[in-house]
Amino acid sequence: MSYEVIKTSNIGFCFGVNRAVNAIYDILRKDNGGKKIYTFGQIVHNGIITDELERRGVINTENIDDIEPGSIVFIRAHGVPASVYDALSAKNVQIIDETCPKVKKIHNIVSNAENVIVAGNINHPEVTGILGNAKNKKFIVKDIDELKKIMHNINGECSEIVFLAQTTFNARKFEEMAEYLRRFRNVRVVNTICSSTYDRQREVAELAENVDAFVIVGGKNSSNTQKLCEIAALYCPAFHIERPEELPDLSKYKKIGLSAGASTHGRTIEEVYRIMVSENSENNISVGEEEIDFEKAIDASMKIIRNGERVKGIISAVNGSEVQVDLGAKHSGFIPVDEFSSDEKAPEIGDEIEAFVVRVNDVEGTAQLSKTKIDSIKGYEKIVAAKDSGEVLTCRVIEAVKGGVVVLVNKVRVFVPASLASLRRDTDLNTLVNKDFPIRIIEVEENGRRRRIIGSIRSVLKEEQAAAQKEIWDNIEVGKKYKGVVKSIVKFGAFVDIGGVDGLVHITDLTWGRIKSPEEIVNVGDVIEVEVKSVDPEKHKISLVYKRSEDNPWEILRTKYKVDDIIDATVLKIMPYGAFVSVIDNIDGLIHISQLSNHRVENVSDVLKVGDVVKAQIIEINYDEKRVSLSIRTLLPEEEPAIVEVTGDDLTGTSENNQEPVDDANDFAEDTTGKETEEI
């Protein structure tokens, strides 16, 4: 029975494995002066490569005592504990560290973390290396059940926990664990699964659902290969083989999937594939162009880098002048560090990056790359797609020019005519510079290398304004609060935009105090919180209040003072009938002329002047009429009535001060009884 072979697109060496294998073969091609070459553990989990290296004299060991001083030691792609680096350094050997940059990134994370939980296989060398670089508490879990037990035991003891995974861990299991950990505020989840691993697992899962059997090629001790086989087995029979001769009889299946682990050499995959194709050829099954595409993909080490290409790679080093990129090829790439803007994430070792090949130097084996160029290309592609779909993008105005403004959209320059730059046609275009706006691309024209791209800010703003106005009128009600922007100021108040609709704050509703101009309180452009005072939907009028009820001075007065309280009052104004004094901020009180003294006062200014601070007693607070009355008189001692001493001579008809004669003693006695007290 014939069958069809369907392969995944991600197949063969990943960049980390390719990097390590290429590095050791480069050393083997050189004259090393008779130095012994060691690998600390298998350089990669691939028995075929390990056997070949052994035949060429490379010694595989994990016993530091076996390593001779002065030799060359390769650190495996899976990495090693920090203690191994220290021990090797003490042996005075040449260390060539081929730890995968993504694994290196994990080492950096765990070395700075307070507590670490790693999802992975405790016996895997990558996990050994990760745990060996962690400085504090560290835990290893293989599934969510173990994770729950760990969290139950340590959560109360740990202030911060970092959760991450072995780079080849099962992506679905990791996502399940990450979802569980979202309930814990002290846990930071870092997805360290290699993107290549994730893509392989996803492709295998998708393909396995549509085939009758699956062949996975890779080392039997390769973790990522084992996981691919586990995933495929969920959907169909899966066969894990390491060498071509291990291929089983597949004749009973109609469709067979083919994939390989990240440590599987292209030559092995090619041989397996050709055997499967050969079997089908005998049954008159043609693979056509599929074979050509496959051969281009199977051996990354043969990849050729050309000027003008778009390439993907992994950041392997960052220094002051450039970012080095591992392209999984014979050429190593570099990007000038100034192409990374300060407003984006700083490049880190292990990050995947896409770039444009500017210049290839075959002599030095380097390729100058450009991130700016690729950003521009990708930005233009998004703009073209947005023009066709009508998608709204975000732009920043960078320059006002004749007839409009120039904006940046996805790092691509776009022209916006003045009539389409804002809602108001009389807008000063210079005021738009360095501001962000939504934009719709309305025209894209290419003429050779020249591009003409036109956008409209106004069309999006009009739609947003209409939607905002509808939202306001559908939901506005008295007492509702809004944050608004002061749009204009007039004599009688300020107009405030509360989201596409303007409302008026009357001057009397701006503050509890007395002001001459609204500009004493607000300025155009201020963002303020206002409350709806009244609404007239028919006339589309809204009255707003800016002054806050909690700042109402009469409520403050109610809590601060009561009748009979004595205060220090500052004289503010002199009137014929009394003096106005400050009670608290924004509340004045009156001391009536009759309350200034125990004796009759003819002129208020004879007793007080503006600026005087006097003790006064509150004698009345009328909250309805907003009036406070005070008195100085009530705080003064009462004057005793005058005492007149009478002698015998006085009884004859003359007063002591020789003013007027007294008719007789009876008349004097009557005057002092109180009948005519006021006249006396």
CATH number, span 15-99:
3.40.50.11270
The whole-number pLDDT of residue 537 equals 85
Q: Give the architecture-level CATH label for domain 553-635.
A: Beta Barrel (2.40)
> What are residue 353's phi and psi, to 5 degrees?
-145, 145
CATH class of the 476-551 domain in this structure: mainly beta
**pLDDT tens-digit readout, 459-506:** 999 888 888 888 888 888 898 888 889 989 999 999 998 888 889 999
The whole-number pLDDT of residue 1 equals 52
pLDDT above 70: residue 650: no
**Among the ranges given (178-192, 561-575, 604-618), the one the predictor scored with the smallest mean pLDDT:** 178-192
The DSSP symbol for 390 reads T
Catalytic residue among 4, 52, 98, 126: 126
User: In the chain, pLDDT over 70 holds for what percent of residues?
Assistant: 88
> Right CATH number for 103-193 from 3.30.300.160, 3.30.830.10, 3.40.1010.20, 1.20.58.220?
3.40.1010.20
Cβ–Cβ under 8 Å, residues 14 and 223: no
Q: Which CATH superfamily is domain 390-461 in?
A: Nucleic acid-binding proteins (2.40.50.140)
**Among the ranges given (218-222, 293-297, 324-328), the one the predictor scored with the smallest mean pLDDT:** 293-297
Q: How far is CA 153 from CA 44, 149, 157, 549, in A?
A: 36, 6, 8, 52
What residues are paired with 118 via a beta bridge? 140, 164
Nearest to 590 by CA among 628, 632, 635, 633: 628
The DSSP symbol for 507 reads G
End-to-end CA distance of the chain: 141
pLDDT above 90: residue 647: no
Domain boundaries, the chain: 4-10+199-301, 15-99, 103-193, 303-374, 390-461, 476-551, 553-635, 644-680
The whole-number pLDDT of residue 620 equals 94
Give the count of alpha carbons within 13 A of 207, CB side only.
26
pLDDT above 70: residue 302: no
How far apart (Å, rounded) are the C-alpha atoms in residues 43 and 39? 6
Q: How far is CA 623 from CA 120, 586, 591, in A?
A: 74, 14, 17
Across 520-537, average pLDDT:
89
**Among the ranges given (18-22, 35-39, 554-558, 606-610), the one the predictor scored with the smallest mean pLDDT:** 18-22
> What are residue 665's phi and psi, to 5 degrees?
-65, -30
The whole-number pLDDT of residue 105 equals 86
The whole-number pLDDT of residue 327 equals 82
How far apart (Å, rounded) are the C-alpha atoms in residues 459 and 108? 48
Q: How far is CA 253 from CA 7, 211, 213, 248, in A?
A: 15, 9, 7, 12
> What are residue 607's phi and psi, to 5 degrees?
-105, -40
Whether 476-551 and 4-10+199-301 are alike in CATH topology: the answer is: no
Order of strands, sheet of 213-217, starting from the edge strand that comes earlier in the sequence: 4-7, 255-260, 213-217, 238-241
**pLDDT tens-digit readout, 42-79:** 888 877 788 888 888 999 999 999 999 999 999 988 99
Residue environment code for 380-394, b if the CB has 16+ CB neighbours within 10 A, otherwise e: bebbeebbeeeeebe
pLDDT above 60: residue 601: yes
Cβ–Cβ under 8 Å, residues 204 and 261: no
Cβ–Cβ under 8 Å, residues 251 and 282: no
Q: Do the strands 502-506 and 493-497 form a parallel or antiparallel pair, or are they unpaired?
A: antiparallel
How far apart (Å, rounded) are the C-alpha atoms in residues 106 and 70? 30
How far apart (Å, rounded) are the C-alpha atoms in residues 326 and 322? 13
Q: Which residue's structure tokens are 């290396």? A: 129
CATH number, span 303-374:
2.40.50.140
Confidence of residue 595 (pLDDT cuts 50, 70, 90): very high
User: In the chain, pLDDT over 90 holds for what percent of residues?
Assistant: 36
Cβ–Cβ under 8 Å, residues 114 and 160: yes
**Cα 200 → chain centroid:** 30
Cβ–Cβ under 8 Å, residues 161 and 116: yes
Nearest to 425 by CA among 397, 403, 394, 396: 403
The whole-number pLDDT of residue 500 equals 80
Fold assignment, 4-10+199-301: Cobalt-precorrin-4 Transmethylase; domain 1 (3.40.1010)
**pLDDT tens-digit readout, 554-572:** 888 888 899 999 999 999 9
Helix (H, G, I), strand (E, B) or coil at 568: strand
The whole-number pLDDT of residue 282 equals 47
Average pLDDT, the chain: 83
Residue 660 is a catalytic residue:
no
Q: Strand ranges (DSSP E) for 540-669?
A: 541-545, 566-575, 578-584, 587-592, 613-622, 627-631
**Among the ranges given (236-245, 396-405, 470-479), the one the predictor scored with the smallest mean pLDDT:** 470-479
How far apart (Å, rounded) are the C-alpha atoms in residues 1 and 284? 11
pLDDT above 50: residue 197: yes
